Amino acid sequence: MVKLANILIVDDDPDIREAAKIILETQPYKLTFASNGKE
């Protein structure tokens, strides 16, 4: 079983989060997004 690397992206700017998603979703990573540290 292959285990995917987990990447947490935290940024309060939704455009930055979306750009990171577009770039990273083509790679074999498990992506998690948050807009602040409380999430």
Residue ranges of the domains in the chain? 5-34
- d(CA 8, CA 11) in angstroms, rounded, equals 10
CA distances from 21 to 4, 8, 11, 35, 39 (A): 16, 11, 12, 13, 17
- Give the confidence band of 2 by pLDDT, cuts at 50, 70, 90: confident
Q: What is the pLDDT of residues 27-36, one digit of tens each?
A: 999 999 999 9
Q: Single out the residue of 29, 27, 33 nearest to residue 13, CA to CA.
A: 33
Q: What is the pLDDT of residues 16-28, one digit of tens each?
A: 999 999 999 999 9
